[in-house]
Amino acid sequence: MSDNLLKYKIAIGLIPGIGCVLAKKIIAYVGDIEGIFKEKKANLLKIPDIGEVLANNIVKQNVLGKAEEEVNFIEKYNLNHCFFLDNNYPERLKNCEDSPILLFYKGNTSLNHARMLSFVGTRNATSYGKDLCSKFIETFAAFDKDIIIVSGLAYGIDIYAHKAALHNNMKTFAVLGHGLDQIYPSTHKAVAKEITQNGNLITEFLSSSTFDKTNFVKRNRIVAGMTDATIVIESAAKGGALITADIANSYNRDVFAVPGRSSDKYSEGCNFLIKTNKAALVDSAEDIIYLLGWNTTKSKKPIQKELFVDLTDEEKTIYNYLKGENNLNIDAMCRKLDIPVSKASSILLGMEFKGLVKSLPGKIYTIN
């Protein structure tokens, strides 16, 4: 994937003090990613949250050389990438303020799908957790094989979720806490290779990144942010699964947890999430399908949509666009149709009342 601006997209993340949120703000003010590296200090100081130190870091930066090295790595191994303003960037992540400005991925599967679920849990999965993971994903596969299963390739629930998805001929995404120059744990290399043929390995980290345990906590926001819901199978009182659940809640995403006996160490986290109303209690995949509104069974007679003649021009425009695309995120639709989100939300609400469209988790809309 050729991208003449890729080195600048990589380089902005290498400037000390510039995180994902601030990088997006700078890009919005300057208007051009390449222009940031040519901007005068006086102009940079006019940007909110840019003080003397950060302005100096940007002006005096010497990161383009390292960025060029990463570009060479990407080209050598034919890797894919997407910038947060690109069409192929995960739409759900675009709604998360702290989402990565740049993602790298190995595989040939689109990062945007109508239905995506993340599975998280303890690295010390019990036979109970492993069986649940397999049964849930088997049921999801029978319901819709196009559901994408997302996890982190770690020991325990993560790897069982990936394996169960592959076993049921579903695509799966593994979000890594390191660059694409390595696989951790190394014992999962064979599964990782299979995932590249039936999904993607995804990361925000460069190939030259130092292996850091904190990266695995950081990657959890991608796992939570790019999916409709997070499912916690087993978790101790503390751990990465609870962190992912908290992040999912902060993104206003659904969180589901499977309860267990109060005496079971690896049910403590799930029971806590349910008890504190941070997760809905589920004991089957059917529960999740129902709670997400994915069950298409209707108890009433289908509406003859083609007979509606009292639609406004704006309603017709949205309806016809949804009819062609379907299962579309409202932000993506508004960008395409050049309609303010607030206005589109009002129009879509009216169309829901008329039975024309249905809203799904993640601000997704579909023809009813």
Question: For the domain that residue 343 is a member of, what is the CATH number?
Answer: 1.10.10.10
pLDDT in tens, 203-247: 999 997 877 888 988 999 999 999 999 999 999 999 999 999 999
For residues 25 and 33, give the distance between their C-alpha atoms in angstroms, rounded to a whole number: 11
Q: 279 and 136 share a domain?
A: yes
**Domains identified in the chain, total number:** 3
Specify if 256 maps to a domain: yes
For residues 116 and 294, give the distance between their C-alpha atoms in angstroms, rounded to a whole number: 12
Specify if 52 maps to a domain: yes
Per DSSP, the chain holds a count of helices (H) and strands (E) of 18, 12
Residue at a domain's end among 27, 46, 76: 76
Residue at a domain's end among 230, 257, 291: 291
For residues 348 and 289, give the distance between their C-alpha atoms in angstroms, rounded to a whole number: 23
Q: 153 and 268 share a domain?
A: yes
Checking if the pLDDT of 301 tops 60, the result is no
DSSP class of 266: G
Read off the pLDDT band of 354 (50, 70, 90).
confident
Q: 262 and 332 share a domain?
A: no
pLDDT value for 343? 82
Which DSSP string do the residues of 7-41 spell out, in sequence order?
HHHHHGGGSTT--HHHHHHHHHHH--HHHHTT--H
pLDDT value for 326? 66
Q: Which residue has the higher pLDDT, 339 or 129?
A: 129
Read off the pLDDT band of 262 (50, 70, 90).
confident
Q: What is the CATH number of the domain that holds 147?
A: 3.40.50.450
Q: 237 and 324 share a domain?
A: no
Q: 185 and 236 share a domain?
A: yes
Q: 204 and 134 share a domain?
A: yes
Specify if 335 maps to a domain: yes
Q: 229 and 344 share a domain?
A: no
Residue with token string 């504190």:
276
Burial 120-155 (b: 16+ CB within 10 A, else e): bbbbebbebbbebbbebbbebbebeeebbbbbbbbe
DSSP class of 147: P
Beta bridge mates, 329: 364
Q: 178 and 34 share a domain?
A: no
Specify if 317 maps to a domain: yes
Residue with token string 């959890």:
220
Read off the pLDDT band of 2 (50, 70, 90).
low
Q: Are 210 and 77 in contact (CB under 8 A)?
A: no
For residues 68 and 338, give the distance between their C-alpha atoms in angstroms, rounded to a whole number: 36
pLDDT in tens, 313-331: 888 888 888 887 767 788 8
What lies within 8 Å, CB to CB, of 289 at 6+ separation is 139, 140, 143, 295
pLDDT value for 205? 97
Label residue 353 exposed, middle or buried (CB < 10 Å: 0-12, 13-18, 19+).
exposed
Specify if 10 maps to a domain: yes
pLDDT value for 305? 46
Which DSSP string do the residues of 292-332 spell out, in sequence order?
TT-----SSPPP-GGG-----HHHHHHHHHHHHH-SEEHHH
Entry pTM: 0.79
Read off the pLDDT band of 297 (50, 70, 90).
very low
Checking if the pLDDT of 147 tops 80, the result is yes
pLDDT value for 298? 39
CA quadruple 148, 154, 159, 161: dihedral, nearest 10:
-40
Specify if 110 maps to a domain: no
Q: 274 and 357 share a domain?
A: no
Which residue type sits at 153? L
For residues 111 and 89, give the distance between their C-alpha atoms in angstroms, rounded to a whole number: 7
Average of per-residue pLDDT across 259-282: 94
pLDDT in tens, 68-94: 999 999 999 999 999 999 999 999 999
For residues 241 and 124, give the distance between their C-alpha atoms in angstroms, rounded to a whole number: 12
Q: Which pair of structure tokens corresponds to residue 183?
A: 């696989």
Q: 317 and 286 share a domain?
A: no
Lowest mean per-residue pLDDT among 150-159, 195-204, 256-265? 256-265
For residues 301 and 267, give the distance between their C-alpha atoms in angstroms, rounded to a whole number: 43
Checking if the pLDDT of 178 tops 90, the result is yes
For residues 204 and 152, give the distance between their C-alpha atoms in angstroms, rounded to a whole number: 13
Q: Is the dihedral of CA 87, 256, 349, 116 positive or negative?
A: positive
Q: What is the CATH number of the domain that holds 23?
A: 1.10.150.20
Q: 281 and 325 share a domain?
A: no
Q: Are 134 and 160 in contact (CB under 8 A)?
A: yes
Query: How is the chain split among helix, strand and coil, in percent rounded to 5?
Result: 45, 15, 40
Specify if 90 maps to a domain: no
Alpha carbon separation from 311 to 4, 299, 315, 340 (Å, rounded): 45, 25, 6, 19
Calculate the average pLDDT of the chain. Answer: 90
Specify if 100 maps to a domain: no
What lies within 8 Å, CB to CB, of 113 at 6+ separation is 146, 147, 148
Which residue type sits at 364? I
pLDDT value for 304? 46
Q: 219 and 341 share a domain?
A: no
**Residue range(s) defining the domain that contains residue 23:** 6-76
